[in-house]
A and B are shown apart, each in its own frame.
Chain A
């Protein structure tokens, strides 16, 4: 077992675009790190560089403190669970699990003992003599896990290992993998685009977008204090509501105005978000999670008036989509939302999560209020959070000019 380090790692496939830019993070020994981000953000690329299947255009990757940029995959002593499992189709389950041990020259009896023990741990004892084609999806997934576990490698890499399973099995395997990882205490990097997997399994979550690391923190902190607008809208379901708000100072109070609704910000909020004072007199973006929106029937002066467009009952809660007269902020997540009235940037849809009992109906007029303790404040240009200690926008990325020199340098290295 060992720690993993990405040190300013960049990757370009075509020498024209960066797929990964300046990726730096450390996974400490025994930690479960989940890489999460939208499709195409470079998660698989990062993992394959760590495994040794893609070369590293720039920067350094270290396992246990040792640079492994030039080490071939077979010498890195890491195990990977592939999305399609990549089980050897002509070998039995036992041979699949034991292959890595056989290759490394372990005696047959010892090998068998370890395979049997691993199979027991995974509930595969009855399947040892079957071929992969005779197994169910969940069993194949376990065999792939077994193949990784049995070797006791330095680290596990998993690339969306649950995406081929049905929803119910996915939930079960999620807890099972998390439990196994904790029992074995092996450093793990787990790639997914499913934020629920990320939040439930990880010790720490690395949120990526467009080849850049957005935020790396514990699931709780990422949820409570997103570093920027991307993380704010990507993590959490339903997504955080983002609105434009004007900051002003009146009567020794800082006021936040959304549409026609003004409310004062308490000192505690100002202290936690030092960026607010610098932004006085300007327009910023605020974020409110659906469960921090209070909805009251009827229309009152001290709140944001709105009209319910859709009420979705989910059994345990009701999601109310409420149209309000307030400017919205274009974010990636928002532009994907289907229910926004197109062309009206001065009206927004706010999603509120309500108790099941609330008899809210379509067309009803309501008033919204926000709990200022739970409002997130962002710079509308950079998207960075105005909170103290929050990471600023992603560090300056290398330019394309750097890229060509890097590629030349890499080429030169290879010639030598």
Chain B
């Protein structure tokens, strides 16, 4: 700032003042980049560099030890033709329903309900309880839920003991089972854990968003004759565009990159029924030593995330810019 003071004190013509201002702006910009440097360095080292390397290895065949061999696009060919790899991508599509759509939808309903029905301290307690899963490490959540969903777990004890008693009475077999070990229920089971984890995040974010809506909008719509359902769809929902966008973005990325929950609760089983790209990449790279194929799958996954997120961002920005 010292030189800016001297610059303005010097009697200069209009042109040279402008040049001086430009020089100053340049100096300021350089200083700005200097402050950004540490963050940029870390970002480059831990994000951009590995990403570039992944792109590079996706064109090679490499076991991680011996020299890598250029194979062109054949790794990508495998990702789309190998049924196992392809189904992993399909599974993450299903997980999006559980990680993203269900928590956002339920979160909206819960937030709307809490706003109107639960006031004061009870509301705070409800919010804390609903948010709590966010604080629990995903690994711990995975372990806890695999117990809960196990054959002698709480879900069976509480819900299926009476059901089975009834089934036995009418002469049918038991419905009790190890849910995460079932072909049919393992993926929804993992999804359920996702709902539990993500619901808190979405509910809290949407509750905060609802708190920002001008109450007189509701009063105006009431006088216009709107009932609670119309209020929700005409006032609440459009006002929450931003928050819903954030919910969907964050949870979709979580669904597509799911690893910890699946690794802990099912390891992708039974028979790859819950295999997801995140876990597949890990297994390919570190168990099968197919780093190239793992990289190709990782790049496809990144592309998939972008494809899913861009429309959401577009939708959110379109609504807020006008």
Contact = CB atoms under 8 A, between A and B. Distances in A.
Contacts of A78: 223
Interface in B114-152: none
A311 interface: no
B214 A84 contact: yes
A74 B239 CA distance: 21
A47 to B, nearest CB: 11
Given A82-B216, A89-B239, A90-B239, A74 B222 contact: yes
Interface stretch (B9-17, B42-50, B226-234): B226-234
A51 B223 contact: yes
Contacts of B222: 52, 72-74
Interface stretch (A98-106, A205-213, A256-264, A364-372): A98-106
B82 interface: no
B235 interface: yes
B162 interface: no
Interface string B226-262: 1100100011001101000000000000000000000
A90 B319 contact: yes
Contacts of A147: 220, 224
B282 to A, nearest CB: 43
A300 interface: no
A80 interface: yes
B81 interface: no
A78 B225 CA distance: 10
Contacts of B234: 88, 99
Nearest to A83: B216
A86 B217 CA distance: 5
The range of chain B's interface size is 20 to 34
B220 A88 contact: yes
A100 B225 contact: yes
Given A88-B234, A88-B235, A51 B225 contact: no
A82 B220 contact: yes
Given A90-B319, A99-B234, A131-B322, A74 B217 contact: no
Contacts, number: 62
Contacts of B220: 80, 82, 86-88, 147
B221 interface: yes
A80 B220 CA distance: 7
A74 B216 contact: no
Interface in A33-58: 51-53
Contact of A53 (B219, B235, B238): B219
A63 interface: no
A99 B223 CA distance: 11
Contacts of A222: none
Contacts of A350: none
Interface in B255-307: none
A79 interface: yes
B230 A103 contact: yes
Contact of B223 (A80, A84, A87, A90): A80
The range of chain A's interface size is 20 to 34
Nearest to B224: A100
A103 B224 contact: yes
Interface string B196-231: 000000000000000000101101111111110010
Among A51, A84, A87, A88, find the residue whose CB has the most chain B CB atoms closer than 10 A: A88
Interface in A115-140: 131, 133-134
Q: B interface, by DSSP: helix, strand, loop or mixed?
A: helix
A342 B129 CA distance: 60
B241 to A, nearest CB: 8
Interface string A252-288: 0000000000000000000000000000000000000
A89 B217 CA distance: 9
Contact of A88 (B217, B223, B225, B227): B217
A103 B225 contact: yes
Interface in B49-73: none
B214 A51 contact: no
B225 A74 contact: yes
Contact of A99 (B219, B221, B227): B221
A219 to B, nearest CB: 28
B227 A84 contact: no
B215 to A, nearest CB: 9
A84 B238 contact: no
Interface in B157-216: 214, 216
A86 B223 CA distance: 12
Nearest to A159: B216
A72 B221 CA distance: 12
Nearest to B319: A90
A183 B322 CA distance: 35
A104 B221 CA distance: 12
B219 A74 contact: no
Contacts of B235: 88
Contacts of B238: 88, 90
B223 A79 contact: yes
A393 to B, nearest CB: 35
Contact of B214 (A73, A86, A103): A86
Nearest to B238: A90
B52 to A, nearest CB: 42
A51 B219 contact: yes
Contacts of A73: 219, 222-223
B126 to A, nearest CB: 24
Contacts of B216: 82, 84, 86
A89 to B, nearest CB: 7
Nearest to B226: A103
Contacts of B230: 103
A14 B164 CA distance: 55
A87 B227 CA distance: 18
A145 to B, nearest CB: 13
Contacts of A80: 219-220, 223
B56 to A, nearest CB: 46
Nearest to B237: A90
Contacts of A74: 222-227
Contacts of A90: 238-239, 241, 319
A74 B219 CA distance: 9
Among B214, B216, B235, find the residue whose CB has the most chain A CB atoms closer than 10 A: B216
Interface string A133-158: 11000000000000100010000000
Nearest to B216: A86
13 contacts: A51-B219, A52-B222, A73-B219, A73-B222, A79-B223, A80-B219, A82-B220, A84-B216, A86-B220, A88-B221, A89-B217, A90-B241, A100-B224
Given A74-B227, A88-B217, 5 more contacts: A80-B219, A87-B220, A88-B221, A90-B239, A103-B225
Nearest 7 pairs between A and B by C-beta? A100-B224, A86-B216, A90-B238, A86-B220, A103-B225, A73-B222, A74-B225
